[in-house]
Amino acid sequence: DTAVSQTPKYLVTQMGNDKSIKCEQNLGHDTMYWYKQDSKKFLKIMFSYNNKELIINETVPNRFSPKSPDKAHLNLHINSLELGDSAVYFCASSQDGTSEETQYFGPGTRLLVL
C-alpha cells in the first residue's frame, strides 16, 4: 500500500501550457504539503493544507494554485509553465502539521518544461 502517491511521475511539456499534479495520502493525516526540489537539490516548501485549509503559502508565483478537495488529496495546478518551473515536485503529509512531526513524502513528479 502506497502511503503518499503522486501522479504523474514524469511530466514533459511545452512552455506556456497548463498542467496539474495530483497527490493522495492514505495515512489519515490532517496536513499535506507541496515542495519543490530544484537542480541544486534544495527542498523548498510551497504550500501546506491542514484539513483542507491553506496554512502555508510561500512566495511562489500565482501561476501555482493548490487545491484540496478533501484532507486526503492535495493537487497542484500550474498555469503558463515556464522553463524555470522544471524541477521535482514532492507531495508530503503529516499527522497534525506541527513542525515537530515526521513528514511522509510521495515519490515525486519530475517536471520538465521545454
Residue ranges binding other proteins (CB under 8 A): 40-45, 48, 55-56, 90, 97-100, 102-103, 105-108
Cα angle 101, 38, 31 (rounded to 5 degrees) comes to 25
Q: Which residues contact 36 (CB under 8 A, 6 or more apart)?
A: 43, 44, 46, 60, 87, 88, 89, 90
- We find the least distance from the C-beta atom of residue 69 to other proteins, in angstroms, to be 22
Measured from the CB atom, the residue of 8 and 16 that comes closer to other proteins is: 8
Contact predicate 23/6, CB 8 Å: yes
**Backbone angle region of 78, left / alpha / beta, with phi > 0 → left and psi within -120 to 50 → alpha:** beta
Which C-beta is closer to other proteins: that of 72 or that of 88?
Answer: 88
Find how far residue 42's CA is from the centre of its chain. 15
Residue whose CB is less far from other proteins, 17 or 57: 57
To the nearest whole angstrom, how small is the minimum distance from the Cβ of residue 62 to other proteins?
A: 20
Residue 33 CB, nearest distance to other proteins (Å)? 9
8 versus 79: smaller Cβ distance to other proteins:
8
